[in-house]
Amino acid sequence: MTHVTLPVFVLLGALVLAPACAARPACGPDALGTGREISIGGEALPLGLQSYPRTLALEDHEVVLTFDDGPAATTPQVLNALAQECVKATFFLIGHNAETMPHLVKRAIAEGHSVGHHSYSHPERTLRLMSEEAAKADIDRGIATVEKAGYDNASATPHTPFFRFPGYADTKPLLSWLAGRGITVFGSDLWASDWSAMTPKAELELVMSRLEKAGKGVILFHDNKAATAKMLPDFLRELKKRGYRVAHMVPGPGPTPLAPAGPGWKSTTEPIIEKTLGGHGHSHAPAGVGHDHPPEAPEAPAEKAM
C-alpha cells in the first residue's frame, strides 16, 4: 500500500506547486536582474537630488526604480514586467488605494519588492497646506492601511520605513517628526514626467535621455499610468542593452550610503511647489535641506507631477 500511495502524494504535490513555480520566470543570463541591495539605515536623512542636497551613493550606470500612487489597475502589468526581468523596485503606496486593492500590496511584498508609504489620501493641495496635526494623521492612517493590506496588521510602525511626500511638499516639522520615528524620506534624482500625456515610446525616449545625462540615479515612475506600464518592458531591456544595473533599496541596519550634492546644487521641486501652491508653499526646510534647484523643470504642476 505504501509503495502505491506515496507516488500519488508526490504527484499531487507537484501538481499543486506547478502553477506557482511556472508563474516565476527563471533569471537567466538575458534578464536584467537586480545587481545588489542597498541597506537604508535609521539615520533617516531625506535624500534625492531633485529635493535634497544628498542622494544614494550609487555607482556609475546604476539605478533605483521607484513607483508612486499605486496600487492601481495597471500595477499588475508593472509587476509582470519587473518579474520577467527579475528586477526589484520600491513602491510608495497611497493608503486609500491599498485599502481597495490589498491583493496587489500582498503580491508586491511576496515578489520581493519594498513597499513604502505615500500618505493615505494623497491630498491634491499637498500635506504642506494641511495643519500639522491633520498631515500627521493622514500619514499615520496611510501607514496603518498599507500595513493592514500587506501584513494583516494595521500597525503604526511600518515594516519598510520609507516615505515620499505627495508632490514632494514637505515641511520642517514633518521631516523632523518622520526622522524621529526612523522613517527615511525619499525624493528622486530624475523622473519620467509620466504625469504628462505621452506615448510609451515618447516616455521611453524622455527618461532614457535624462538617465544618459545623469549617468545614474533614483528614478520616479507612477504605476497607475498606462503609458508607464506599457513602456516598462522596453525600458528594462534598454537598461540591459546600455549596461545599466539595478539596485534595490531595503530597510536595514545601515549606514545608508550617501553622496552629497555637487557645488551649486539647487532644488528642482521647490520652485514648482511654490508656484503651484500660489505663495503658500514655503517649506520652512531645515538648514542643509534646502529646496532650490536647477535649470531642468518638469512639464507639469507639482500636484500632478508626484
For the stretch 274-297, pLDDT in tens is 998 886 655 433 323 233 323 333
Q: Which grid coordinates are listed for 24?
A: 516565476
What DSSP assignment string belongs to 52-73? SSEEE-PPTTEEEEEEES---T
Q: What are phi and psi of 207, to 5 degrees?
A: -70, -35
Whether residue 21 is contained in a domain is answered as no
Helix (H, G, I), strand (E, B) or coil at 163: strand
**51-77 mean pLDDT:** 98
Q: Summarize the confidence of residues 81-92 as an average pLDDT.
A: 98
The CATH number of the domain where 299 resides is what? 3.20.20.370
- The answer to whether residue 5 sits within a structural domain is no
DSSP 111: T
What is the tally of structural domains in the chain?
1
**Has residue 304 got a pLDDT over 60?**
no
Cα separation, 235 vs 241, in Å, equals 10
Q: What is the pTM of this model?
A: 0.86
Least-confidence region, from 11-20, 63-72, 176-185, 213-222: 11-20
Sign of CA dihedral 206, 248, 294, 175: positive
At position 179, the amino acid (one-letter code) is: A
Domain that holds residue 163: 29-305
Is 200 domain-assigned?
yes
Give domain status of residue 228, yes or no: yes
pLDDT class of 115 with cuts at 50, 70, 90 = very high
Task: Please give the pLDDT value at position 25.
Answer: 57
pLDDT one-digit tens code per residue, 126-169: 999 999 999 999 999 999 999 999 999 999 999 999 999 999 99
Residue 48: its pLDDT value, please?
Answer: 98
Domain assignment present for 20: no
Domain membership flag for residue 266:
yes
Q: What percent of the chain has pLDDT over 90?
A: 78
Report the distance separating Cα 285 and Cα 277, nearest Å.
16
Residue 16: inside a domain: no
Tell me the C-alpha to C-alpha distance, in Å, between residue 109 and each of 115, 121, 221, 271, 298. Answer: 7, 21, 18, 35, 31
Whether residue 73 lies inside any domain: the answer is: yes
